[in-house]
């Protein structure tokens, strides 16, 4: 015979104020923890779709990002030497020259009070073959026209990017490009960009050099070997696989998350202590009751288990409250966030969504916290000496 779970559940409601207060403590910590986990998930998800092993991004030698790289077209041609490039239907190598600039756009989340630098990328039609993860949600821009397509994350977070809107681009900010459609890419960072025709954009910004060249390799080719060839004496440029590139670009974001993570960790420890406090008081207040249970015949282990259950129940209630609070916060204050990359001047957009995976993680963490907090008090309860407890006034 085991202690019925309802006994432990009902005990939570005997001392209502303590239960409520402890639950709220847990809820507060869980709320912040969930937000952080949601953010990290969003980043991981975004990066996980930017790890194409057959794609290499080529920059000017020594550049750390597209915003400070300039490749002259003659140099870009050197890349045709590479044997390992995949080819398209016409037999042309899949080599996409690209130019990256920024445009300052109002943030939707604070109604345009602050502005963000959004990346604008000029590409040729080859780009769509080199970046097969781009999914057009309507027609693409026409080369040679004043048209652009916008990534869904950019359209969501920044103003003036709906289909039909005109974005002012160009060096003088006075050339209007019509948004003819949106594109998605499974959440990859490219969804925070605006894409347009390469030659028109280059002339609008009076540029003669590309920022970067993206290459698609043939199946089964070793990317590392190609990078070595690119950096070698014949070509002398910097090459990075897509995942390396984006890992570098997001290093500062990861530092930020680590800082927040440490802070949340500290508060979780505080929560554990708070739970321990509550459980100790709970045990102390029920010594006679525990002694009674023992005289009836429940074993010390069953008593211990009972208290552990109580603590886990308590924590789960707090956890659910915290999750609900986080969800409410996200829906009220908006779940969008954008952050600078470490080396770029442009911003990456994130959406924090609480999916089932996150909920499970958060509740799991909270149950663990509840267990940890109750371990010592529950152990003490199980060690209670029956006769002494019965005598206690």
Partner 1 sequence: MTMGYIVLQNLRRNRLRTALTLVAFALPMGVFVLAISLLAALIEIGNMNERELRLGVHHKVTLINLLPDAMRRKIEALDPERKRLTAVCGMRWFGGKIPEEPAPIQSLAADADTFPIVYSDAGMTPEDIEAWNKDRQAAVVGYGVIEQYKQKYPDFKLGGRVSLKSSVPPYLELEFHIVKVIEKANRAQTFYFRRDYLTESLKEAGVDSPKCNIFWVKCNGADELRELQTAIDQEFSNSADETKSEDENAFAASFTQALGNLPGLMNAMAIVVLVIVGLVAGNTMMMSFRERTRELGVFKAMGFPPIRIFTIVLSESVMLAAIGAIIGIAPVWIGLTFYPLPKLGVLPIASLKASPAAAYISLIIAIAIGAAAGFWPAYQAMRLRTVDALRRVA
Shortest spacing between CB 155 and partner 1, in angstroms:
18
Give every CB contact of residue 258 below 8 A, 6+ residues apart in sequence: none
Question: Given candidates 76, 86, 163, 281, which one binds partner 1 under the rule CB under 8 A?
Answer: 281
**CA dihedral (111, 113, 114, 118) positive or negative:** positive
Rounded Cα distance, 277 and 266, in Å: 17
- Tell me the two tokens of residue 392: 């206690």
Shortest spacing between CB 164 and partner 1, in angstroms:
22
Question: Stretches 21-29, 147-155, 185-193, 384-392: which one binds partner 1 (CB under 8 A)?
Answer: 21-29
Q: For residue 28, state whether it binds partner 1 (rule: CB under 8 A).
A: yes
Rounded Cα distance, 307 and 352, in Å: 36
Q: For residue 184, state whether it binds partner 1 (rule: CB under 8 A).
A: no
Q: Which of 120, 139, 119 is nearest to 128 (CA)?
A: 139
Question: Given candidates 24, 316, 324, 368, which one binds partner 1 under the rule CB under 8 A?
Answer: 24
Shortest spacing between CB 302 and partner 1, in angstroms:
24
Nearer to partner 1, 129 or 371 (CB): 371
Question: Stretches 22-30, 138-146, 159-167, 192-200: which one binds partner 1 (CB under 8 A)?
Answer: 22-30
Rounded Cα distance, 311 and 180, in Å: 56
Rounded Cα distance, 170 and 206, in Å: 8
Nearer to partner 1, 54 or 194 (CB): 194
- Whole-number Cα distances in Å, 3 to 297, 300, 304, 315: 11, 11, 10, 20
Q: For residue 379, state whether it binds partner 1 (rule: CB under 8 A).
A: no
Question: Stretches 73-81, 102-110, 226-234, 307-315: which one binds partner 1 (CB under 8 A)?
Answer: 102-110
Q: For residue 15, state whether it binds partner 1 (rule: CB under 8 A).
A: yes
Nearer to partner 1, 7 or 171 (CB): 171
Q: For residue 255, state whether it binds partner 1 (rule: CB under 8 A).
A: yes
Write out the binding residues for partner 1, residues 306-325 only, by CB under 8 A: none
Question: Given candidates 92, 166, 171, 364, which one binds partner 1 under the rule CB under 8 A?
Answer: 171
Rounded Cα distance, 246 and 179, in Å: 26
Q: Which of 235, 232, 205, 244 is nearest to 102 (CA)?
A: 205
Nearer to partner 1, 33 or 198 (CB): 33
Question: Given candidates 48, 77, 81, 104, which one binds partner 1 under the rule CB under 8 A?
Answer: 104
> Please, where are the H alpha helices in the chain?
5-11, 16-48, 73-77, 126-130, 152-157, 198-204, 223-231, 242-249, 251-284, 287-296, 300-333, 356-382, 386-391
Q: Which of 1, 22, 17 is nearest to 310 (CA)?
A: 22
Q: For residue 72, state whether it binds partner 1 (rule: CB under 8 A).
A: no
Nearer to partner 1, 136 or 258 (CB): 258
- Tell me the two tokens of residue 296: 């009836």
Question: Given candidates 203, 243, 247, 252, which one binds partner 1 under the rule CB under 8 A?
Answer: 252
Rounded Cα distance, 271 and 36, in Å: 17
Beta bridge partners of 215: 56, 95
Check: CB of residue 33 under 8 Å from CB of residue 368: no
Nearer to partner 1, 118 or 304 (CB): 118
Binding site for partner 1 (CB under 8 A): 15, 17-18, 21-22, 24-25, 28-29, 31-32, 62-64, 68, 70, 101-104, 107, 114-117, 168, 170-173, 252-253, 255-256, 259-260, 263, 266-267, 269-271, 273-274, 276-278, 280-281, 284-285, 337-340, 342, 345, 347
């Amino acid at each position: 015979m085991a202690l019925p779970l309802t006994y432990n559940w009902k005990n939570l409601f005997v001392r209502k104020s303590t239960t409520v207060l402890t639950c709220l403590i847990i809820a507060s910590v869980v709320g912040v923890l969930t937000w952080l986990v949601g953010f990290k998930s969003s980043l991981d998800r975004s990066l996980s779709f930017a790890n194409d092993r057959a794609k290499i991004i080529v920059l000017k030698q020594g550049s750390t990002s597209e915003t400070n790289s300039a490749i002259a077209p003659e140099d870009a041609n050197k890349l045709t030497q590479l044997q390992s490039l995949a080819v398209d239907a016409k037999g042309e190598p899949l080599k996409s020259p690209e130019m990256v600039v920024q445009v300052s756009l109002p943030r939707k989340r604070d109604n345009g009070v602050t502005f963000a630098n959004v990346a604008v990328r000029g590409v040729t039609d080859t780009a769509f073959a080199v970046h097969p993860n781009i999914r057009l949600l309507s027609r693409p821009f026409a080369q040679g026209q004043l048209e652009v397509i916008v990534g869904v994350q950019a359209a969501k977070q920044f103003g003036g990017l709906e289909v039909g809107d005109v974005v002012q681009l160009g060096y003088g900010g006075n050339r209007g490009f019509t948004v003819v459609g949106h594109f998605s890419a499974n959440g990859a960072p490219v969804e925070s960009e605006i894409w347009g025709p390469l030659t028109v954009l280059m002339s609008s910004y009076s540029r003669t050099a590309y920022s970067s060249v993206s290459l698609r390799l043939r199946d089964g080719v070793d990317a590392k070997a190609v990078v070595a060839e690119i950096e070698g004496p014949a070509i002398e440029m910097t090459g990075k696989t897509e995942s390396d590139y984006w890992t570098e670009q997001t290093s500062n974001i990861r530092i930020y998350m680590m800082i927040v993570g440490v802070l949340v960790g500290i508060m979780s420890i505080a929560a554990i202590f708070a739970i321990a406090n509550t459980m100790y008081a709970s045990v102390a207040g029920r010594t006679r009751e525990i002694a009674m249970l023992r005289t009836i015949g429940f074993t010390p282990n069953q008593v211990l288990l009972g208290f552990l259950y109580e603590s886990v129940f308590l924590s789960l209630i707090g956890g659910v409250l915290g999750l609900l609070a986080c969800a409410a916060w996200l829906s009220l204050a908006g779940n969008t966030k954008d952050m600078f990359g470490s080396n770029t001047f442009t911003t990456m957009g994130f959406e924090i969504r609480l999916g089932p995976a996150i909920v499970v993680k958060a509740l799991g963490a909270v149950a663990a916290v509840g267990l940890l907090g109750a371990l010592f008090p529950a152990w003490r309860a199980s060690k209670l000496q029956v006769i002494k407890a019965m005598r206690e006034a």
